[in-house]
Amino acid sequence: MAATFAWVTFCICNFVFAPALLGQAMDDSIVAKHVRLRIPVDRQWLGRETISDLERCWEFVDSATGAKLPTRVLIVIQWQNSMTAVDAEHATLSIGMGDPAASSDAKGYLLHSAARELARLALINLSGGAASKEENWFLLQGMSEMVAHDFSNTVKRLGAAWAICYYLDRMSPLGLKQLASRAEISGSQIDLRSAAPGITLLTACGELFGRERLFKLFESLARKNLEESLTATFKTQASNLVNQWLARVRNYNAADVTITTAEEAPELNRVMFVPDPAKAGGTLRVQLFARDGANDLSPTGIFVLDESSHLVLQGNQGGTEGSRYTQFEIPIDAARPEGRYKLRLVAVDEGGNVRNWEAFYSIAR
């Protein structure tokens, strides 16, 4: 009776902390031993189809992290936005289903998001809250994704993180100090791109010293800063670990990789240049149109390398509804001679697929 009262009190209290769901009838009746869902009434079918898998996910994450999950977790599922959030104090996860990828595979998207956020909650608890500090955020992002892919047996998808890091490093050299700024690297994004530095650093450490040490690293964060924790956990200077990691990043060959079906992988439709030809001393706008069968290719997952200037840029969303494209703005040096130049375009989607494309533009005086 006392346990039931505590669970009811937990749910009532957490209604205050859940995102506002005004105008939408919500259902709280879908419950398992450790997981309760709060889901729109018209989406109850999804809750009923996934509750047993979500319970199994809780068990997997709790076991992997040494029983660091709360006994009961409330998962609030909404369709108004695509944001996810963790309230560790009140053991509440909020999962937004507004991402285009959710429309292609609602069940798969929900399960992966829940696994990742349960892992995030457990790692925050394991580290005494230290993992959520700005300097450790990239590690929390990376390890959460790794645990989620372990649960779904899709670890091969994480290999694409090396391609992302290769180009992020070309844009601005990676390092612990650079990664310490959460806003600089990932902002509010929670996806493969934002998790890539943490994934690759932790993967490199795990391969050298054993995967079980990675959880010891998070435990150490409760008492030490990041560099001290790296040194204490792996018994070597943090600088040595970082140098080995960066050497691997910089020697990576971002070749084509297909993890999902070919139909789900990105496919280039066309590239447009504005103006065409470009003018020396001006700016070339590149508009890339791609087919994205799984709806999981973000503009920030597309990079362009100007092989003449060696400049690397990350994509931005362009166009309007119904005619979206990824846009880049490439400055053209005033001394650039007339001629034909090559761009390398690299797309990495959330499924772990990597695609390399080429495009050519002209410079005229």
Q: Where are the domains of the chain?
A: 1-126, 130-253, 266-364
- What was the pLDDT predicted at 45? 96
How far is residue 242's CA from residue 353's CA, in Å, rounded to a whole number? Answer: 26
- Same fold? 1-126, 266-364: no
- What was the pLDDT predicted at 245? 98
Given the DSSP bridges, would you call strands 35-40 and 73-78 parallel, antiparallel or unpaired? parallel
How far is residue 293's CA from residue 121's CA, in Å, rounded to a whole number? Answer: 31
- What was the pLDDT predicted at 365? 79
Considering only CA atoms, which of 214, 194, 191, 193 is closest in space to residue 203? 214
**Mean pLDDT, each 10-residue run in order, the chain (365 residues):** 35 40 80 98 96 98 98 96 92 95 94 97 98 94 97 97 97 92 61 94 97 97 97 97 97 95 96 97 97 94 96 94 91 96 98 98 93
CB 259 within 8 A of CB 353: yes
CB 283 within 8 A of CB 327: no
Which amino acid makes up residue 350?
A: E
- What was the pLDDT predicted at 81? 87
Segments of 236-322 assigned E as strands: 266-274, 278-279, 283-292, 302-306, 311-314, 316-320
Q: Torsion angle of alpha carbons 304, 275, 298, 206, nearest 10°?
A: 10
Backbone angles phi, psi at 175, to 5 degrees: 175, 165
Q: Torsion angle of alpha carbons 129, 131, 133, 138, nearest 10°?
A: -160
- What was the pLDDT predicted at 10? 35
Considering only CA atoms, which of 233, 217, 331 is closest in space to residue 282? 331
Q: What is the pTM of this model?
A: 0.91
Query: For the structural domain made of 266-364, what CATH number should be given?
Result: 2.60.40.1930
Which amino acid makes up residue 60?
A: F
> Which CATH fold topology does 1-126 show?
Zincin-like (3.30.2010)
Mark residue 235 as left, alpha or beta (left: phi above 0; alpha: psi -120 to 50; beta: remaining): left
